[in-house]
A and B are shown apart, each in its own frame.
Chain A
Amino acid sequence: MKGRVIGGVGLLLSDGDNVMTAIAELPAGASVPADNGAIELIEPVSFGHKVALESIHRGGDIRKYGEVIAEATQDITTGEWVHTHNAESRRGRGDLSPGRDR
C-alpha cells in the first residue's frame, strides 16, 4: 500500500504528513518510532483514527496523503488523537457563507 508502516502500529501515507493512521487499537502510552525519537500516545486511538506526530497550532494544517486534509480548531500536542473534536474541514462550509435562513 501507499506509505509505510511505522512500528507495526501506524501508517504514514506520505513523508511530510503530520499525522499517522492507527492500524491497530492503540492504548494510551503506546510508543511510535519517529525521526527524533519515539512518540508516546497521550490517549487511546482507535483503529483507523489519526495521531499527531508533531504539535500543531490552532488554525494550522493537518496533513495526510501529502495534502492538507483539515485545520486544527485548537492547539494539538504530539501524540494526541486528531479528529472532529480538534480538527475541521475548510470545504463545503455552507455555514460560513451567506445562506438562506430556513
Chain B
Amino acid sequence: MMQFQGYKRSRGPAGVRNYVAVIPVSVATASIADTVAARSDHAVRSTPHQMGGDPPEKTREQIERTLIGVGRNPNVGASLLLSLGTETTDYNKIIDGIAAFDRPVEHISVHEAGGTAATIETAVDVAQQLVGGIAGCQREACDVSDLRFGVECGGSDATSGIAANPAVGASCDLLVEAGGTACFSETPEFIGAEHILAERCPDPAVRERLLSFVDARESAAELMGVDMRGAQPTPGNQEGGLTTIEEKSLGAIAKGGTTPVQDVVSYADELPTGAGLVIMDTPGYDVESVVGKVAGGAQVVAFTTGRGSTTGNPIVPVMKVTGNPTTARDMSSNMDVDVSDILDGESVASAGNRVYETLIRVASGQQTAAEQRRLEEFAINELMPNELAGEPA
C-alpha cells in the first residue's frame, strides 16, 4: 500500500486527523482546556499538562518546543492557546511557532478575558469557530511517505521482545522502504543494547549522539543514588518475565525494525519527513515519550504492550499491539492488533504486514480502541532542577 486517505496541509506533511487543539500554556489553564473540550464538538481536543508557570530556562524551552510541536502536528488543523496571562512561558513564541506553519491559532488569556468563567465561555465560542474553519478540509489520497510513524512499548513483558516489537519493527521496515519516517525512543530502554543500535548508525556523529544520550539517562540513576529497578524494569515487566533493563532493552529495540538509524533527535524536536529510521531521546515513561514524538510531528503511533497498557493521546491515534495471548483475550476491547500467533508459528513478516495494514487503515480514519473510548493521556517531560544542576540557580 502506497497511499492513505489524509488531510493535506499547506505546510508540512498530511495529517490523519483534523482537530482543533486547546493547548494550556501552564497547569493554571489545564482544567479550563479540559472543560472547553468537554463542552465542544468531538473534534476539539485538550492537551492538559502539569507544567508550572515560571520554570527554569531549559525546562521552559522544552515546554515551549513541545507545545509548538503540538500545534504544528499535521493532525491539528487549528489551535487555541490558553494562558493565564502572567506566566513566563512565552505564549507569543508558541503562537508564532504554530502560525509559521500556516495553521490558524487563537489565544485567550484569563487575565485579558476577565476571569475564569468568562474565559471558558469565550473559549468555547472560539473553539467552535475554529472547528467551522477547518471543517472544509477533506481526506484525499496521500503518499505513505508523508507518514511519521511513532512506535512505543509500555507494560512490556517477555512477549514484547519476542513477538510484538519484532512485528511492529517489521512494519517500520515496510514504511521506511516506502519512503516514510519511523521513529522510536525511550532511551533508558536502550541500556544494555546500545551497542547493537550504535552499529546501525552510518553517521559517526549520530552514533556519538546516541551513546551520549544513553549515558545521560543511565546517570539519572546515579543522580538519585539508587538502582533503576522498580522503574526499569517495572513490577509489571518483572511479573511478565523481564528480569533486568538489559533484557528489556534487547527486546525493546526490535520495535524500530532493522534499517539503519539515520538520525537521533532530542525530545520534541521536529522529526524529518521521508527520512527512514530516526531515534528520539525521551524517557521510557510512556505518556511523556509518546508526547515527545507527537510534538515531533508523528501522525500515528503503534504502542506494543504485553501486560496491557491502555493509554492513548488526544491528537494522535495510538494503535495497541500485543503479543501476549492472555492480554489479547482478556483486554481485547483495548487492543487493536493481536500478534500472539507469532508464538504459535506465524512469521514476524506476516504479523508485520498486519500491523502495517492497520497503520494504513488507522491513518485513513479507522478509530483505534483508545480513540473510541476517549483515552487520551497527555504529559510533558519536565526537565527537573537536579537534572539541570550546574546551570545558574
A and B co-occur in one complex = yes
Please determine whether B250 and A65 come into contact, CB atoms closer than 8 angstroms. Answer: yes
Does any Cβ of B come within 8 Å of A94's Cβ? yes
Chain A residues with Cβ under 8 A from B238's Cβ?
A: 83-84
CA distance A88 to B243 in the complex (A): 7
Q: Is the interface of B mostly helix, strand, loop or mixed?
A: helix
Question: A92 near B163 (CB under 8 angstroms)?
Answer: no
Which residues of chain A are near B382, meaning CB under 8 Å?
Answer: none
State the main secondary structure of chain A at its contact with B: loop
Residues on the A chain within 8 Å of B245, using CB: 89, 91-92
Q: How many residues of A contact B (CB 8 A)?
A: 39
Among the stretches B3-11, B35-43, B123-131, B221-229, the one at the interface with A is B221-229
Residues of B within 8 A of A70 (CB): 243-244, 246-247
Closest A-chain residue to B220, C-beta based?
Answer: A94
Check A88 against B244 for contact (C-beta < 8 Å): yes
Answer yes or no: B180 CB below 8 A from chain A CBs.
Answer: no
Taking CB atoms and an 8 Å cut-off, the chain B residues in 305-339 that contact chain A are 306, 324, 326
B171-179, B185-193, B273-281 - the one binding chain A: B185-193
In the complex, which residues of chain A have a beta carbon less than 8 angstroms from the beta carbon of B225? 94-95, 97, 99-102
**Does chain B have a CB within 8 A of A48?**
yes
Instruction: Choose from A48, A65, A83, A97 the contact partner of B222 (Cβ within 8 Å).
Output: A97
Residues A89 and B222 in contact in the complex (CB < 8 Å), given A21-B241, A48-B157: no
Collect the chain B residues with CB atoms within 8 Å of residue A6's CB: none
A47: chain B residues at CB < 8 Å are: 158, 241, 326
Nearest B residue to A24 via CB reads B343
Q: Is the CB of A48 within 8 A of B342?
A: no
With a 10 A CB-CB cut-off, give which of A46, A84, A91, A100 has the most chain B CB atoms: A91
Closest Cβ of chain A to B190, distance in Å, is 10
Please determine whether B342 and A1 come into contact, CB atoms closer than 8 angstroms: yes
Tell me the nearest residue of chain B to A62, going by C-beta. B243
Q: Which residues of chain A are within 8 angstroms of B15 by Cβ–Cβ distance?
A: none
* Residue among A46, A62, A96 making CB contact with B227, cutoff 8 Å: A96
CB distance A92 to B241 under 8 Å?
Answer: no
In this complex, the member of A21, A48, A70, A84 whose beta carbon has the largest number of chain B beta carbons within 10 angstroms is A48
User: For the complex, what is the distance from the CA of A36 to the CA of B342, rounded to whole Å?
Assistant: 28
Residue of A nearest to B193 (CB): A67
How far, in angstroms, from A49 to B244 measured CA to CA in the complex? 12
- Smallest CB separation, B390 vs chain A (Å): 14
Among the interface residues A5, A49, A70, A92, which one has the most CB atoms of the partner chain B within 10 A? A92
Q: Do residues A67 and B250 form an inter-chain contact, with CB atoms below 8 A?
A: yes
* Residues B246 and A1 in contact, CB atoms below 8 Å apart: no
- Docked CA distance A100–B192 (Å): 25
What are 8 sample pairs from A and B whose C-beta atoms fall under 8 A apart?
A11-B162, A68-B246, A69-B244, A90-B246, A91-B218, A92-B228, A94-B225, A99-B224
Taking Cβ atoms with an 8 Å cutoff, the residues of A that contact B are: 1-3, 5, 11, 13, 21-23, 46-50, 62, 64-65, 67-70, 82-84, 87-97, 99-102
Q: Give B residues with C-beta under 8 Å from A.
A: 157-159, 161-163, 166, 188, 191-193, 196, 218, 220-229, 232, 238, 240-241, 243-247, 250-251, 306, 324, 326, 342-343, 345, 347-348
